[in-house]
Amino acid sequence: MPIITNIQDLKRLHERRVPRMFFDYAESGSWTEQTFRENTSDFEKIRLRQRVAVDMTGRSTAGQMIGEDVSMPVALAPVGITGMQHADGEMKAARAAEKFGVPFTLSTMSINSIEDVAGFTSKPFWFQLYMMKDTDYISRLIQRAKDAKCSALVITLDLQILGQRHKDIKNGLSTPPKLTLKTMANLATKWAWGIEMMSAKRREFGNIVGHVQGISDPSSLSVWAAESFDPTLDWAKIAQIKEEWGGKVILKGILDAEDAKMALKVGADAIVVSNHGGRQLDGALSSIRALPSILEAVGDQIEVHMDGGIRSGQDVLKALAMGAKGTYIGRAFIYGLGAMGQQGVTRALEVIHKELDTTMALCGETKVGDLGRHNLLIPQDFEGRWQA
C-alpha cells in the first residue's frame, strides 16, 4: 500500500483509479471555476500565530455539532452519486465516519438508499434533502429518513438549478451516462474500478428510483435537475418542511448575511456557510471569506458551520478559529473513497485529524473549543473588500 501523508496523495490515487467521467464530476467547479479555486486559495491567505512554551499535553479535538458528540468537528458533506466513486460508496463512507466518530450526511442523489446506509451502520446519520416538485415524493423521503432514525435533516438551498460544469457536459455525464468511444476507452483502463463495481449492491440511484420520469431529455443531468427540482422554493416552504420533519434542521448553502437572518427566523438549528464547493454560482465569495459577515449577523444566535475548500486539518483549524462551530469535507473524503474505498475515507479523516491536532499544539492550544481569532493572522483586506 502506498504511503499516504496528505489529502493530495489520495487525490492522485483517486484520479488514477476512477473513470475520468466520475473523477471530473467530483473535481469540477462551475463556469470559470473561480469560486472553486478561491475556496482553497483563500484559506492560504490566512496565516497562523505560532505560540511557544505552552503545556501541550492532554490535547483533544473532540467537540459537538448540533448537540451531537464528535471526535472532531468535521462532518462528511452530502455528495451526489458517491457510489460511483467506489461500489456502495455511501455505505462505506458512512461506516468510516461512524467508526471515526464524525457525522455522515447522505445526499438525496445517492446510489445507496437511506435504508441501505441505515442497515450498514449503527449510529444515526444526517439526511440531505433537495426540494423537488413532487411533494409526495418529498414526503416519502422525509418519512424514510425518520424511519431510518436520521438525526438531522440538511436542506440544501443553493441548487434548484444546476450550475454549468463544462466537463460533465463534454464527458456525457448523465443518467445513464453517454458511452462515447472516448469514455469506453477510458473505462477499459479502469478495470480495477470496474471489477469492484460489479460487486455493488446498488447500481442505480437508490433514493430516487422511479423518480426519473417524464423528463424531456433524461440524458442531461442539468435538464433532469431543472425539470425535477422545485424552482418555487422559498422560506415559507422551508418552514413547512421543517414542520413536517419535526427534528433538527440544518440549512445548507447560505452565503449572505441576509439569508442567514432568514434561516434564523425559520428556526433552523444550524446553517452551513457554503457555495456548494464552487459548483453553483461561480463568482460568489469563497466560503471562508463569506464566513465573518455571517458570524457577525447571526453567530451568537445560531450554530454556524462552513464547508468549501477544506483539504487539511489546518484549514479546519482556520475555519474554527474564525468562529465556525463545525466544518464539512466534500472532495477530501471523496478522494479517499475513490482511491481506496472505506479505508481511504478513514485515511482522509486520520490525515485531517493529525494535521488539526499538530497545528493546534503548535498554535499553543489544547482544545478546539478554545480556538479563536487570536490564533489567526488575517490580512487587513481579507474582509470588507467586496461591499454590497
Ligand X SMILES: O=C(O)C(=O)c1ccccc1
Ligand Y SMILES: Cc1cc2nc3c(=O)[nH]c(=O)nc-3n(C[C@H](O)[C@H](O)[C@H](O)COP(=O)(O)O)c2cc1C
CA separation for the pair 333, 323 (Å, rounded): 23
Site string for ligand Y, 40-79 (x = CB under 6 A): -------------------------------------xxx
Binding flag, residue 109, ligand Y (CB under 6 A): yes
Side chain identity, residue 161: I
CB of 93 to ligand Y, least distance (A): 12
Per partner kind, with CB cut-offs from 5 to 8 A, the member of ligand X, ligand Y, none near residue 225 is ligand X
Range list of H helices, 221-373: 221-228, 235-245, 257-265, 287-298, 313-322, 331-362
Locate 3 and state its grid cell.
504511503
- Strand 326-329 and strand 74-76: pairing? parallel
The contact pattern for ligand Y, residues 294-333, with x = CB under 6 A and - = no contact, is -------------xxxx------------------xxxx-
Whole-angstrom distance, CA of residue 87 vs CA of residue 85: 7
Identify which of residues 329 and 340 has a Cβ nearer to ligand Y in the complex: 329
Instruction: Tell whether residue 276 is a contact of ligand X (CB under 6 A).
Output: yes
Q: How far is the CB of 77 from ligand Y (least distance, A)?
A: 3
Residue selected from 19, 63, 73, 80 as contacting ligand X according to rule CB under 6 A: 80
CA distance to 28, 36, 85, 168, per residue, from 24 (Å): 6, 13, 11, 7
CA dist 176 and 276 (Å) reads 24
190, 202, 279, 331: which one binds ligand X (CB under 6 A) = 279
Of these partners, ligand X, ligand Y, none, which one is at the site of residue 86 (CB under 5 to 8 Å by kind)? none
Going by C-alpha positions, the residue among 336, 304, 312, 373 that lies closest to residue 79 is: 336
Residue 225 near ligand X by CB under 6 A: yes
The set of catalytic residues is 276
Residues in contact with ligand Y by CB under 6 A are: 25-26, 39, 77-80, 107, 109, 128, 156, 252, 274, 276-277, 279, 307-310, 329-332
